[in-house]
Structure 1
Amino acid sequence: MSQALIVWGGWDGHEPERCAHIVAGLLETNGFKVTIANTTAALADPSITGLSLIVPIVTMSRIAPDEVDNLSRAVRGGTGLAGFHGGMGDAFREATEYQFICGGQFVAHPGNIIDYRVNIRRRSDPVMEGIDDFDYRSEQYYMHVDPSNEVLATTTFSGAHAPWIEGVVMPVVWKRRHGQGRVFYSSLGHAAREFDVPQMRTIFHRGMLWAAR
């Protein structure tokens, strides 16, 4: 049986506990045995190297050196990592090794909750199969991203809220490798209710399964 660990915590505004249980439910439909922890100390456990998948949901939290070292070791060895929005993309701001694994780091969301469009870039990828470009209402994440990411979807900034980024095309969904591990990220998912959006839910569900092999 595939095993997954979900670690939640950090900023309450992203509803990490609610999201953790939604994510657990998605994985359980695929037969995963899921463990939910609300402390990053779980990442220091040597046994995580035997997991199929780790999902961090810990916006603006902190991670101890032994925890990030063990997480990095697990992913390099083949454990998958998948996450969404700030739970993964704005976690552990001071831990550059963590950012190296993830392939990106949150910078800003000009205008806060706004309407924007998500453009599918790799329609042939199994994660994006059958999904067309779609409109979305949430925080439009401006990020620093790793050029080695395999970008699956993007968004274009209008400049209405930050004129200097008008026309910037920003990755929204990507996958990458870190050692032997598969890493998946989607910037969609500011609050638990966004899992009600079929495209968001499907993309993240498929992305987790890809990361977990």
Structure 2
Amino acid sequence: MKALVVRGGWEGHRPVEATDLFLPFLASRGFEVRISDSPSIYADAAVMSSTDLIVQCVTMSSISPEALAGLRAAVVAGTGFTGWHGGIADSFRASSDYLQLVGGQFATHPGKEPSACGGDETDNFLTYRVSFTGDHPITTGLDDFELTTEQYWVLHDDLIDVLATTTHPVQPWHPWHRPIVSPVIWTRQWGQGRIVVTTPGHSLDVLENPNIRTVVERGMLWAARTASAS
């Protein structure tokens, strides 16, 4: 099995350090790992046709039409595609075709009460609950849990299969008038390929949380090319 790790974009999500956390796991599961610092590799048809799993951590940034076409073609043909947080759910904002592929897009992360804000990234750190929606190989045996980090508000379509959700409550300082439920973890079948998105992962400590790490690692194995997609 061959895995392609694509990392880059906004450095605030520490794409190198974050993906490095999972390289030993991939190696231990028998993957031959190739690392690219640019999504331009998606345009290389020979590389993509031999790749069983793509792990992407590229926040914002941009992607060429050729690279995007290569990514979409590979997933349709059975290459798995997975990632976490902004590295997959806030990538390539200008590309509607990428958004269609992934099925969900970061919109915002609501913050603390304004008087409690100090002007740094922790203004957007809230304690919230992750609630699992049912049994799945990625989430089996895990119980609902709490995180203190960015709580992603996600715009999404109905083709995703939601494995976990979170609820954004109504607060006096926010303009919405009823609680909003957002997906936290979802899968998506696209052609012969499997996609897994895990929205927590802003910082290394979140990725090292046992629940998040378990979901990300299981997601890699579940998304990887199956025999039926070979």
TM class by smaller structure:
over 0.9
* TM-score using structure 2 length: 0.89
The residue that corresponds to 1:76 in the other structure is 76
The residue that corresponds to 2:163 in the other structure is 152
* Structure 1: distance between partners of 2:82 and 2:90: 13
* Partner SS, residue 6 of structure 1: strand
Give unmatched runs, 5+ long, in structure 1. none
Cα deviation, 1:136-168, whole Å, max 9, x if unaligned, reads 011100011121111000001112353406411
* Structure 2: distance between partners of 1:101 and 1:24: 25
* Structure 1: distance between partners of 2:35 and 2:199: 21
Runs of 4+ that moved beyond 3 A = none
* Partner SS, residue 210 of structure 1: helix
Change (3 A) 1:177 1:165: farther
Matches within 5 A, 1:55-74: 55-74=55-74
Aligned mate of 2:194, from 141, 159, 182: 182
Percent same amino acid among aligned pairs?
42
The residue that corresponds to 2:125 in the other structure is 113
* TM-score using structure 1 length: 0.95
Aligned mate of 1:208, from 203, 206, 220: 220
Give unmatched runs, 5+ long, in structure 2. 112-123
* Structure 2: distance between partners of 1:94 and 1:67: 14
Residue 109 of structure 1: how far off its partner (Å): 0.4
* Structure 1: distance between partners of 2:180 and 2:186: 17
* Structure 1: distance between partners of 2:216 and 2:63: 24
The residue that corresponds to 1:53 in the other structure is 53
Alignment size in residue pairs: 211
Aligned mate of 2:148, from 129, 137, 143: 137
* Structure 1: distance between partners of 2:84 and 2:166: 15
Asked whether the 8 Å contact 1:81–1:183 carries over to 2, the reply is yes
* Structure 2: distance between partners of 1:173 and 1:152: 5
The residue that corresponds to 2:90 in the other structure is 90
